[in-house]
Amino acid sequence: MNLCRCGKPARDSTLCPDCVRQVVTDLRALATGGVLRIRVHQKRIPVPAVVTLLPVAEVVTPATFRVVDELHTDTRPSLYELLVDTLVRRDHTGSDSIGAVSGAAAFEVDFHAAASELKAAIDGVIRTWAVDVAERHGRELPARSVRKAAAWLAANPALLAAHPDAGDFADQITKLTRSALRVIDRDPEKVYLGQCGAKVIVDKAIGSCEADIYAPPGRPVVQCRKCGAIWDVPERREFLLAAVDDQLATPPEISKALTRLGREVTESMIYGYVHRGRLNPHPPHPHDSRGRARYRVGDVRAIVDALTQQEG
């Protein structure tokens, strides 16, 4: 029986199931951003006309099309993409500060260096390990990019956990993921304003721009970096908040969603409201194996808004 780096039994591999789960979660966060929402599109499929040879009593006009539901998944950018974004943005636009604030320029430079160093470190660790894990099992790495290599490792936890140095790898990945979160969080462009949605021409047809919009705090308007559309920040924020109001979610999800939309609220604040009977519990999501109660996002927002008004 092997022991994991954390002291728990690891059976025949190097990492225990909990540590495997953690490293897979981190790799996934780096490689893929997760699902933002799933949209259902109705698609019309033409149906060839049916010719019946038998005499029929009544002439029925056959349907010429049927409607099928198509699922579209909108995803968030991965940590890795956000990191690269952060880098690229600084490269192209430089500092947003006017230069009158002393120390601001130095901060930008530090910040930039941190993002660039971190990207290099992530590239190195993921590449080395993915190639090594693949070779050890007589395979060729089926990924050419760092994100794909991270996704491949996440999809092959057993191969990864069997590596004799998997403990080191797990440590490195956990540290790098935390640093990435920190570097991106320090980005002032923090408030998520949803997908752009401006009408754009895609393949000669009218579609909508799918770029994610993030606004620096305190800016009244924001411009989409992909299509150039200009949006009014408070209006978009209200619209997004209203759109999530009727959703049911667990306190961690609500905290994340509202904080992202510029309404700072922690999990423990929400549990506090629950404790004081200010929120009505709703049944757990059918797929939630932990059976956690859910709450209406709008109810939490109403409490937070009322508190903010009292303070301000």
Q: Nearest distance from residue 228's CB to Zn ion, in Å? A: 7
User: Which of 127, 226 has the CB closer to Zn ion?
Assistant: 226
Angle at 220 between CA 201 and CA 263, to 5 degrees: 100
Distance CA 144, CA 137 (A): 18
Is position 6 an interface residue for Zn ion (rule: CB under 5 A)?
A: yes
Q: Nearest distance from residue 6's CB to Zn ion, in Å? A: 3
> Considering only CA atoms, which of 272, 249, 277 is closest in space to residue 261?
249
User: Are 216 and 258 within 8 A, CB to CB?
Assistant: no
Residues 18 to 57: which contact Zn ion by CB under 5 A?
19
User: Which of 20, 150 has the CB closer to Zn ion?
Assistant: 20
Q: Nearest distance from residue 213's CB to Zn ion, in Å? A: 7
Residues 219 to 238: which contact Zn ion by CB under 5 A?
224, 226-227, 229
User: Which of 6, 101 has the CB closer to Zn ion?
Assistant: 6
Distances (CA, A) of 289 to 2, 179, 249, 286, 293: 29, 30, 14, 8, 11
**Burial of 20 from C-beta contacts in 10 A (0-12 / 13-18 / 19+):** buried
Q: Nearest distance from residue 144's CB to Zn ion, in Å? A: 28
Distance CA 145, CA 130 (A): 11
User: Which of 36, 141 has the CB closer to Zn ion?
Assistant: 36
User: Which of 75, 280 has the CB closer to Zn ion?
Assistant: 75
Q: Nearest distance from residue 153's CB to Zn ion, in Å? A: 17
Size of the site for Zn ion (CB under 5 A): 13
Distance CA 182, CA 265 (A): 19
β-pairing, 295-296 vs 248-249, is antiparallel
User: Which of 8, 39 has the CB closer to Zn ion?
Assistant: 8
Distance CA 183, CA 185 (A): 5
User: Which of 232, 305 has the CB closer to Zn ion?
Assistant: 232
Beta strands, E only, the chain: 35-46, 65-75, 191-195, 199-202, 205-208, 212-215, 221-223, 230-232, 248-249, 295-296
User: Which of 118, 173 has the CB closer to Zn ion?
Assistant: 173
User: Which of 18, 185 has the CB closer to Zn ion?
Assistant: 18
Q: Quick one: which of 14, 16, 193, 296 contacts Zn ion (CB under 5 A)?
A: 16
Q: Nearest distance from residue 184's CB to Zn ion, in Å? A: 21
Q: Quick one: which of 4, 241, 261, 297 contacts Zn ion (CB under 5 A)?
A: 4
**Burial of 102 from C-beta contacts in 10 A (0-12 / 13-18 / 19+):** exposed
Q: Nearest distance from residue 177's CB to Zn ion, in Å? A: 16
Q: Nearest distance from residue 200's CB to Zn ion, in Å? A: 7
Binding mask 186-215 for Zn ion (x = CB under 5 A): ----------x-x----------x-x----
Q: Nearest distance from residue 162's CB to Zn ion, in Å? A: 14
Stretch that binds Zn ion, among 16-24, 85-93, 242-250, 260-268 (CB under 5 A): 16-24
What is the dihedral sign for C-alpha 276, 279, 284, 285?
A: negative
* Residues making contact with Zn ion (CB under 5 A): 4, 6, 8, 16, 19, 196, 198, 209, 211, 224, 226-227, 229
